[in-house]
Structures are given as structure tokens and as C-alpha cells.
Structure 1
Amino acid sequence: MARTRAALKADRLAVVGPTLLVVVDRNPAAQLLVIILARPDRNWQMVGGGRVSTGQAGRHGYFITPTGVFQHTDAILDYRAEGTFNENHIRGLGRKGMRVWDFGWVTAVKGWRSDGETGEIRLLLHATDPDLLERRLGHPASEGCVRISAAMNTFLDKYGVLDADYEAAAADDPSYEAVLRPDRTPTAFAGRMLVIIDSSMPMS
């Protein structure tokens, strides 16, 4: 909770009403996602969570998932996994229909270098191969994105946890309506912020 509050404060972001935050701890010993109900005038509450995989160090082409607050807005259109296999017979984004949340281009440390050199990655929140890679959640394994389970993907998607802007946009733009689940039940506390922290690092 304290690290999440500090991250919001560092970006000069305030919680002005009850809202859900999706918080990821990239600490290699943690690799967790928690959903927090944040309120300006009451204690914050954790309402659920699960294991994730973030960026893996020491492997060429793999970036360290950056920390900070990343906004999910209608400036970028999300998409859904096609469920196709790559050359290694892996469905990198999970089963067909799994939601892919797109947070745009961000700066991240190149995990295969020791000098802290950075590069640009497309930060995504997405499911992973249900047969081969989902069992590895809980350990760093991604190229820099945040991998989640199919169950968590479905939960965030069905209840629109990060879709505050998307629901508003869908009222006027059919392309946003097409991304959202037709059977969704949007929460009244929908938010737009993915907060990535690292509990292995000292708090500033």
C-alpha cells in the first residue's frame, strides 16, 4: 500500500473517488498482481490478486519491466489475442479472445546488459500460453510485459477494472465497443491505472 501511494505521489496523481488500481510487484521473489480499492477518505483494501511474470534479466532481447504509474486511456486501442502459435508452438498472448491491454511505448532497462542501458518497449498486460507458460507465473519470464493468468485476464476484462475511459469512449465509438466483452458487467469503481512497484528496492 505504501509503495503504491508513493508511486502515485511521485507522478502527482491523486485518488479523488473510490477507484480500483491494478498493482504489480516486479520483485523477482514476489511476482504478484493485486487489485486495490483506493479511496481518498478511507483505508485502502486489497480485493484480490494472483501471480504474474515480468521482465527476465540476463537474457538477450529481454527488458526489465519498468516501475511507475501507467495510464490505460482511450488514446490507444486494445486488442484481443488471435490464439495462434509461434515458431516454438507457443501462444504468446494466450487463448483466442484473451484481452491485451496496451499502455503504449515506455522506456525500460535492457536486462541483458550490466550498464543500465535503456530502450523502448511496448508495455502490455496480457495472458500467456495456458499449457506451457502459465505454470511459470510467479517467476520473471517475459520480454518486459506483464503476463497474467487466463483467470485474471477474464476477471479484469469482464468487470472492466481498467476500463473507465473505455466505457466512456464506447458510447460514441464502435471500435471501443468492439474491444469490450459483450457479456461484461462493469464495476462502478473502474479505474485506469496500472502501478508497477518493486518491493526489493529501498523506498525513496
Structure 2
Amino acid sequence: MKIFLKIFISLVLLISFLQASSLNVKAIQQNFYNNVIIKPLYAKYRKKSLVDKALKQRAKKFRIYNNYWKRAKKHLFKKSKYLASSQFLTLVDLSKQVLIVVLWDNEVKDFYPVGFDFISTGNIEREKEVTNGEDHYFKTPAGFFSIKSGWRSEGEMYRDNITMPYGKKDNYVFYFGEQKSIRYNTFDKNNTKITDPKKWKIINGKLKFAMHAHISGNSLGHPQSHGCIRMSSDLNVYLDNNLVFFKHLYDGKKWTHPYKKPPNNPTNYSLAGEFMLVLDKI
């Protein structure tokens, strides 16, 4: 485990990010690394050599370099006025198809990267697949969002016996409300499909914007969704148990919602958050 932690720090987060924090950032980072990255890799490959290879491939695809994090923090600091206490928040880079869990230390007034994972966001080019009556493919909206509500997945599965659109049973669906977005109009005035992409028009619309787990044959790290943010079940469980979006549902260590199920293993109560910053590019 010590070897894996060294790889984590050197390839993913870089120790220089830590500086002087009043919080135990390293322990929080290790928890993310163990549960979101290493645990699912061992479940998939089972051999250390294969896990090490997967980690190297992952690092080649994306790392949080110093210069990248400096640019990211410029965007985050513009929203720091909304953060009255130390807390988690998330940062989404649509161009890289990654979600970064971030920690705001209110005492030292600085942001720290906890870890990242690959996601899948809206692919408006897939509008060509849509037939009358089906859901449209929207661009995932950029902006600063606070969670509005949410629910737990029923674990429903499509007829292909592979796809679980909201992940496993009890994965939490984080809902950010109805948001403005854009999509292609691929139908003419007679509701006939337009087959020539040159004749498609970009139109404005509204997306019921959520972030949720998704299990299918499509890999994360590429735009695939109808506009929502898809993530792994492991990242979903981490966000759930670490209360990354549950500030409004906890009073100290007490879960306050009478009908929604609380996380199975809640922790970091004092760092509960509510915000997500989505950027087209960092």
C-alpha cells in the first residue's frame, strides 16, 4: 500500500500541492486513491503487474500537473465567496472528461485536489441516433451549480442485461435542477429525420441536469451521455459516503431527511459540501 501511495502522490496529485493545510489532506487523498482507483483496478485485474500497468496508462491519459492545477485554482477562487467553511466541492473539466474532487480549506483560504476520475458527459453528435419520442442529446452545461435534490437508484437494468442507467441499487443520483443547454435539431417541420448533418441546426433547450453512476459497455473518459454526468459506481459511493453534496442534509452528524436513505458509511461530516463547478476547458 505504501508503494501505491507513492505512485498516487507522484503521478496524480504531486506533493507540492499540499503546502500548509489545516486539514489532513494526505489522509483524505489516500482514502480517495484506495477506494476510487486501486480497489476497482484490483477487482478488475487481480494481479499487481496488471494494476501497475493500468495506473501508468491512466497517468498518460490525464494527470493533475502543477500548471494545470494553477489554472484550475484561478477558476475555483472566483467562487470562493460562496464557501463559508472548509468543505468538499467538485470540478469538472469537459475537455478532459474528468471530475476532480476538491477540498477547500477555509482557514488557509486555499484549494487542494483530493483525486480525479474519468467521467462521461453529453455528446450532442449522438442526436443523429434519436427517433421521434426519444430523449435528446444535450451539451453538458458549464457553470457553477449547487445540488437541488436527489434520489437513490433502484438498480434498474435495460433489456440488454448490461446497462444500468443509474448504476447499482442505492447509488445516489445527484440532481442540479433544470438547466439551459443546447442540442441539434435533426427533424424538419414534418418531424421527418434530417439525414444530412449540414442541415442540422443548433437550438436552445433545457436539460434536467444530474450526475449519476452508469454501468454499460461504454467506457468512461469519452462524451456519451444525453447531457448528464456519468461516473463509476466507486466514485458515486465516495461522493455519497464523504457527503460531498450533502451539506443541506446533515445537522452535525444527524441525517435530516425523513424519506431519503442516508449514506451507508458517512464520514467527514465537517467537510460536507454542495457545489460543482463545470468548465468547458481548464
Same fold by TM (over 0.5)? yes
After superposition, the C-alpha distances for 1:82-125 in whole angstroms (9 at most, x for unaligned) are 11122444211111111101111111111567644221111111
**Aligned with 2:172 (options 78, 88, 99):** 99
Counterpart in 2 of 1:48? 115
Unpaired segments ≥5 residues, structure 2:
1-68, 128-135, 187-199
Counterpart in 1 of 2:245? 162
Comparing both chains, which one has the higher relative contact order based on Cα–Cα distances under 8 Å and sequence gaps of 6 or more? 1
Number of equivalenced pairs: 189
Matches within 5 A, 1:149-188: 149-168=232-251, 171-175=255-259, 178-188=260-270
Paired-residue identity, %: 25
| Residues 48, 12 of structure 1: alpha-carbon distance in 2 compared, 3 angstrom cutoff | closer
The amino acid across from 1:36 in the alignment is V
Q: CA RMSD in A?
A: 2.5
**Aligned with 2:105 (options 14, 39, 44):** 39
The amino acid across from 1:97 in the alignment is D
The amino acid across from 2:75 in the alignment is A
Tell me the TM-score normalised to structure 1 length: 0.81
Tell me the TM-score normalised to structure 2 length: 0.60
Matches within 5 A, 1:1-150: 2-3=71-72, 5-6=74-75, 9=78, 13-27=81-95, 30-40=96-106, 41-60=108-127, 61-73=136-148, 76=149, 78-89=150-161, 90-111=163-184, 115-129=201-215, 132-133=217-218, 136-150=219-233
Please tell me whether the aligned partners of residues 64 and 111 of structure 1 are also in contact (alpha carbons under 8 angstroms): no
In structure 1, distance between residues paired with 2:82 and 2:146: 13
Please tell me whether the aligned partners of residues 91 and 99 of structure 2 are also in contact (alpha carbons under 8 angstroms): yes
The amino acid across from 1:86 in the alignment is Y
In structure 1, distance between residues paired with 2:90 and 2:263: 19
The amino acid across from 1:37 in the alignment is L
| Residues 43, 195 of structure 1: alpha-carbon distance in 2 compared, 3 angstrom cutoff | same
Please tell me whether the aligned partners of residues 59 and 111 of structure 1 are also in contact (alpha carbons under 8 angstroms): no
Please tell me whether the aligned partners of residues 164 and 191 of structure 1 are also in contact (alpha carbons under 8 angstroms): yes
Alpha-carbon offset, residue 171 of structure 1:
4.9
Alpha-carbon offset, residue 145 of structure 1:
0.3
In structure 1, distance between residues paired with 2:257 and 2:156: 28
Runs of 4+ in structure 1 deviating by more than 6 angstroms, as ranges, are: none
The amino acid across from 1:81 in the alignment is S
| Residues 171, 20 of structure 1: alpha-carbon distance in 2 compared, 3 angstrom cutoff | closer
In structure 2, distance between residues paired with 1:95 and 1:172: 24
Partner SS for 2:250: helix
Unpaired segments ≥5 residues, structure 1:
none
Greater mean alpha carbon deviation, residues 82-91 or residues 31-40: 82-91
| Residues 110, 13 of structure 1: alpha-carbon distance in 2 compared, 3 angstrom cutoff | farther
| Residues 132, 165 of structure 1: alpha-carbon distance in 2 compared, 3 angstrom cutoff | same
Counterpart in 1 of 2:279? 197
Partner SS for 1:174: coil
Higher helix fraction (1 or 2): 2
In structure 1, distance between residues paired with 2:269 and 2:74: 22
